[in-house]
Amino acid sequence: MNTLFRFVFLRALPLVQQPELRSASATELADIAKQITSTAQDRYTHHLERLERSRLAPSAGTPPASVPETTTLDERSQTHVRLASWALGAYRTLYPLLSNDEERTLRVVRQGFGVQGDSTPQSVSLLQRLMVRFRLFLARDPRRARLMLAERFVADLGPLFEARWAPTRHPEAHDVLLIHRCLYEEIFRLEGVPKLLSLFCAMDRANFVDLSQFTLEPGLAYATKRQACRFDFGPAKLS
């Protein structure tokens, strides 16, 4: 697990602000950090192996392949699994310590990622936002500039997400990116904590916070009537 991320993530968790942990000693807090790290590592290994087994799943009549000692998943997919595992490690460790208070535990985990409510995560720097605004301001074709941002976002998702553009066949159509498979949704659903998905939805919104017409409808996050997540980048303005 990434050492720098571990340091920043654990320092960002507002543990001593919680009534149950205000009197915790430095040693006790260190033990909590170790438990979060251990649980995160366990979930990371588990889901890497699960995804590798799925990737190597044999067709009918073919002997099952053993899981290799080293994963061959692409780097982006490993990064997404790692981030989800940190969220799981923190949630699993802190939930019993915070009086089994689900909503408060979720808020604490979200703050570890720099997210409070649906606000822009602190990980989205001011420089990054200024660069996006400057690029959009100078663009001769604002729509094309928006779509280039979207394509970079899709590339960052990696192959374990399923993203497709919705058809734009009529004059009032919008450029809508549909996410039919989300690795975070899959992991948190299997782990029984689907509410953790809202953290990563907030981080996705932050990627496009300076696009005035952008909206995100997280359809995969719904407990019932699940549907593709809709990333709406505004009017397509077809001629």
Q: Are 65 and 58 contacting, i.e. CB atoms less than 8 angstroms apart?
A: yes
Q: Are 125 and 208 contacting, i.e. CB atoms less than 8 angstroms apart?
A: no
Q: How far is CA 198 from CA 69, 103, 161, 195, in A?
A: 33, 12, 17, 6
What per-residue confidence (pLDDT) applies to 221? 83
Name the 3-class secondary structure at 237.
Answer: coil
Amino acid at 97: L
Closest C-alpha among 157, 154, 152 to residue 128: 152
Residue 35 has φ and ψ, to the nearest 5°, of -65, -40
Distance separating the N- and C-terminal Cα atoms of the chain: 50
What per-residue confidence (pLDDT) applies to 67? 47
What per-residue confidence (pLDDT) applies to 239? 44
| Distance between CA atoms of residues 3 and 8, nearest Å | 9
Q: Helix, strand, coil % (nearest 5) of the chain? A: 55, 10, 35
| CA 104 and chain centroid, separation | 19
Closest C-alpha among 57, 73, 69, 50 to residue 158: 73
Over the chain (239 residues), what is each successive 10-residue block's mean pLDDT? 82 93 95 97 96 74 51 87 97 97 95 72 50 60 83 93 88 88 96 93 82 85 82 77
Closest C-alpha among 171, 174, 187 to residue 217: 174
Amino acid at 52: E
| Distance between CA atoms of residues 7 and 126, nearest Å | 22
* SS3 per-residue string spanning 202-225: HHHHHHCCCCCCCEEECHHHCCCC
| Distance between CA atoms of residues 223 and 99, nearest Å | 25
Element (H, E) at 235: strand 229-235
What per-residue confidence (pLDDT) applies to 184? 96
